[in-house]
Structure 1
Amino acid sequence: MVSPVTVVKSEGPKLVPFFKATCVYFVLWLPSSSPSWVSALIKCLPIFCLWLFLLAHGLGFLLTHPSATRIFAGLVFSALGLLMFAVTHVLYASAFGMRPLALRTGLVMAVLSGLCYALLYPCLSGAFTYLVGIYVALIGFMGWRAVAGLRLVGAAWRWTELAAGSGALLFIISDLTIALSKFCFPVPYARALIMSTYYAAQMFIALSAVESREPVEDYRQTKAN
């Protein structure tokens, strides 16, 4: 088991650009009412830094670890715009894998996703009624796969699973806040809550790729068996 101190020492320096870029975003706090390419660049800068964080582990690492490759691809798609987040969640869920299946966890996540959609449903109309439902199902599925492998105690505990689960739950909080603010009612300090949980979610998910699931050789052998 890798200790948290070891993780901080080994991965902390690689995350310094991400923390600096996040601070730049919150310090400048450019108005969202007048979007520009500068504001879009500053908003995406922390995500670009997470690209560099994964690339800092070596291109060979990404090429030989399918789950790390998918998380990197998810980070790329998440920087391309709101419509690409559905692709991002599919890639993240694929990276987390389907083992262990954890059906009870899936049932809990399905119930929570249903409650979230029930909360939003009266506020939705037209195509959003269906689009939001699909998106809730996707992010709920991603959350299930992220949390499914989480073990908080015992020899099976791994900090990467905790990072994946934390990232997924923070992503759900961020997206639920967006939906409530857009469709239902003004959420106090919505933008600060949305962006802080979003950046933290992406950071934790990127961290979960560091001790990636399995090299390509093991992955192919598993598929063959």
Structure 2
Amino acid sequence: MYYNLRFLAIEFLKLIPFYISVVLYFSLVRQDQVWTLWTSALRCLPIMALMFYVSIKGLSIKKHYGQSQLILIGLMFSCAGDVMFNLLLFALGMTCFGATQICYMFAFGWRPLKIIIGACLHISSIGLIYFVIGHLNIAHLIGVFIYCTLITGMFWRSLARALHVKSFLAFFAAVGAALFIISDALAAVIHILHVKLPAPRLQIMITYYAAQFAIALSTADEGRPPAALGSEQ
């Protein structure tokens, strides 16, 4: 499926509130650790802007809007997770983001399965968990294992869909899923392994917002007939 430049330009323009909210967050929240409701609200603004985008670009309870519905719910869980993390409620935050990954996983679908890709990704995920075993107690380790399984499954489904559909938006969603993993990996390196990186919050949040942006944008053509998208370049 091809997307003309006008279609993509319109979709990017609809996301102006997201761009503004990201700028506001990084402009007004300058410290790496500020745990207040005010900073939580600023942190959630970009995700709320993406929720608004997914809703206004077209949404229905009908089956052919299933991806948009699930991604919208996933964004809601992400927003809750952001508040939990910003208030140092890590267990609740991880639970919320685990629910987000489940929503995204089902949004990307299960056909084709591409089990080999899934197996390779999950084996790699287990290998990465090995590096943090000595830094976590058993309860935290179980939580990290479950979350890594979920986010790896989400990336697997996005990649399988991109390889099958072979469209720009599906590929963009897979890039977003990869960025989500990078963001969480950075958070693990900084907060679990205690590796000092320059501007850690900046690295984590930029990749996180970019991931959510790409995943939300992947719903742009859902529910629209192919003729409405056009094939002009």
- Provide TM-score, normalisation by structure 1: 0.86
Residue 159 of structure 2 is aligned to residue 147 of structure 1: yes
Residue 141 of structure 2 is aligned to residue 129 of structure 1: yes
Separation (CA, whole Å) in 2 of partners of 1:4 and 1:106: 32
Describe the SS at the equivalent of 1:127.
helix
Name whichever of 30-39 and 188-197 sits farther off.
30-39
Shift of 1:61: 7.5
Matching residue of 1:113: 125
Separation (CA, whole Å) in 2 of partners of 1:9 and 1:33: 36
- Across the aligned residues of Structure 1 and Structure 2, the Cα RMSD in angstroms comes to 2.2
Describe the SS at the equivalent of 1:210.
coil
Separation (CA, whole Å) in 2 of partners of 1:148 and 1:22: 30
Matching residue of 1:43: 43
2:26 counterpart letter in structure 1: F
Shift of 1:94: 0.5
Structure 1, unpaired ranges of 5+: 216-225
Shift of 1:34: 3.4
Structure 2, unpaired ranges of 5+: 82-92, 226-233
Separation (CA, whole Å) in 1 of partners of 2:107 and 2:173: 10
2:220 counterpart letter in structure 1: V
Shift of 1:37: 1.4
- Provide TM-score, normalisation by structure 2: 0.84
Higher-RCO chain (CA-CA 8 Å, sequence separation at least 6): 2
Shift of 1:60: 3.1
Q: Percent identity?
A: 32
1:121 counterpart letter in structure 2: I
Q: What stretches of structure 1 move > 2 A for 4+ residues in a row? A: 1-8, 29-34, 58-64, 211-215
| Aligned residue pair count | 212
Name whichever of 54-63 and 123-132 sits farther off.
54-63
Describe the SS at the equivalent of 2:162.
coil
Aligned with 1:99 (options 111, 132, 136): 111
Shift of 1:105: 1.2
Mark the CA change 1:110 to 1:26 in structure 2 (over 3 Å): closer, same or farther.
same
2:143 counterpart letter in structure 1: L
Matching residue of 2:195: 186
Separation (CA, whole Å) in 2 of partners of 1:30 and 1:179: 21
1:159 counterpart letter in structure 2: F
Q: Deviations over 1:153-205 (max 9, x none)?
A: xxx52012111101110000111111121111234122111100000000111
